[in-house]
């Protein structure tokens, strides 16, 4: 009988958590929380309840690298690296931005600023260039094109090294 019970054990890991925010316009109810491995493959996802709680089941062999969230009206946004071995997470939304000594925004994942780009809302930068944009956005390597719809909860920056928006 003991062998029979072992054969049906699952290798799943249950992660519980809560999103919290002090920003009155940020929504944490009924948003999708997504878990990715280091290779950027989705390994688990869940939705939050009215208070921001979530529960996610992930296969044990999947190593979670980082956590993002997204909802109706805003793009997928980086939340945090996954603390290995943790089963209970409290995550603050939005992720606080840090600035380096040169005034560039630091990526919260790699903690570097050399590949961080500001997300510009609107269509592709190359297609919307006008006389205004020719003066203010002259170097495509400094900016990342966003979508045509942009809300307060949308990410403001993109890290090319880690391929995340934050």
**Above 90 in pLDDT, residue 32?**
yes
pLDDT band at 142 (very low <50, low <70, confident <90, very high): low
Tokens of 60: 């044990």
pLDDT average, residue stretch 9-24: 85
Could you report the per-residue pLDDT of 51-76, keeping only the tens digit for each? 999 999 987 667 788 999 999 888 89
Mean pLDDT of the chain: 81
Residue 58 is predicted with a pLDDT of 85
**Among 2.60.40.10, 3.30.300.30, 2.60.130.10, 1.20.120.530, what is the CATH number of 1-95?**
2.60.130.10
Residue 39 is predicted with a pLDDT of 87
**Residue 137 burial class via C-beta count within 10 angstroms: exposed 0-12, middle 13-18, buried 19 and up:** middle
> What does the domain layout of the chain look like in residue ranges?
1-95, 97-166
Sign of CA dihedral 26, 28, 31, 34: positive
pTM value is 0.77
CB neighbours (10 Å) of residue 59? 12
């Amino acid at each position: 009988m003991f062998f029979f019970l072992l054969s049906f054990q699952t290798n799943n890991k249950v992660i519980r958590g809560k999103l919290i925010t002090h920003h009155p316009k940020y929504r944490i109810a009924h948003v999708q929380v997504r878990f990715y491995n280091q290779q950027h493959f989705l390994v688990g996802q869940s939705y939050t309840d009215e208070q921001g709680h979530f529960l996610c089941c992930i296969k044990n062999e999947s190593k979670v690298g980082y956590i993002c969230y997204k909802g109706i009206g805003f793009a997928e946004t980086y939340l945090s690296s996954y603390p290995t071995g943790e089963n209970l997470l409290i995550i603050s939304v939005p992720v606080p931005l840090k600035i380096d000594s040169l005034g560039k925004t630091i990526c919260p994942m790699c903690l570097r600023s050399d590949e961080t780009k500001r997300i510009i809302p609107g269509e592709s930068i190359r297609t919307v260039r006008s006389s205004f944009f020719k003066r203010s956005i002259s170097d495509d390597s400094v900016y990342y094109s966003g979508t045509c719809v942009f809300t307060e909860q949308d990410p403001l920056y993109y890290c090319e090294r880690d391929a995340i928006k934050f």
